[in-house]
Amino acid sequence: MKLKLPAPLCLALLAVCLPVAAQDDKAANTISVEVPAAVKTAIQKEADGGRVVELNRVNEDGKQQYEATVSHEGLEYAVRVDLRGVVIRVELKNYNDAEDQSPSQLPAAVRDAFKKLARGGPVENTRRQRLAFTCEARIDGHRYALTTDEQGRLLKKELQQDENEGK
């Protein structure tokens, strides 16, 4: 016998059942929820000694995926993995955020350039943004775009679709 539930009840059950979280009292880099082995392996590999703080199932464009929040060396990353264990995206949370800085906090060359470019006008609302560098790399048989900051910290890793994929 099939049980047919009203749509609002189904949505409420999904909202309660879909989010899953790794336990804080577990050892670092341990996932204790029921997820496919390939997904666990991929997330643990990306965590690279960090701690999985949260893990959720998501549905993007009709495709089920998992997204983990990983804490690593004081930074938090969002890691998106498909059901086959292919890493779709790794992104430092808030990496595009800029921080306000007073002109006196800026490097001298930047201060001088701003003064020259402002042609004597006031220099206000100075902000520092992360300097980023990008490359493409083949990892585990997939092509990724990688972005790091000036210290070499990973800002973003994103799966690139090959021209022959999906054919």
pLDDT 10s digits, 109-131: 888 888 888 888 888 888 877 78
Contact yes or no for 36/57 (Cβ under 8 A): no
Instruction: Give the number of other Cβ atoms within 10 Å of residue 148's Cβ.
Output: 18
Percent of the chain with pLDDT over 70: 74
Lowest mean pLDDT among 6-15, 18-27, 63-72, 141-150: 6-15
What pLDDT, in 10s, does the model give residues 61-108? 899 999 999 998 888 999 999 999 999 999 988 766 667 777 888 888
Distant-in-sequence contacts of 157-165, Cβ < 8 A, 24+ apart? 157/87, 157/89, 157/90, 157/91, 158/88, 158/89, 158/90, 158/91, 159/86, 159/87, 159/88, 159/89, 160/136
Among 131, 125, 67, smallest CA distance to 96 is for 131
Q: Please report, for the chain, the start and end positions of each structural domain, with discontinuous segments joined by +.
A: 18-95+130-159, 98-129
The CATH code of domain 18-95+130-159 reads 3.10.450
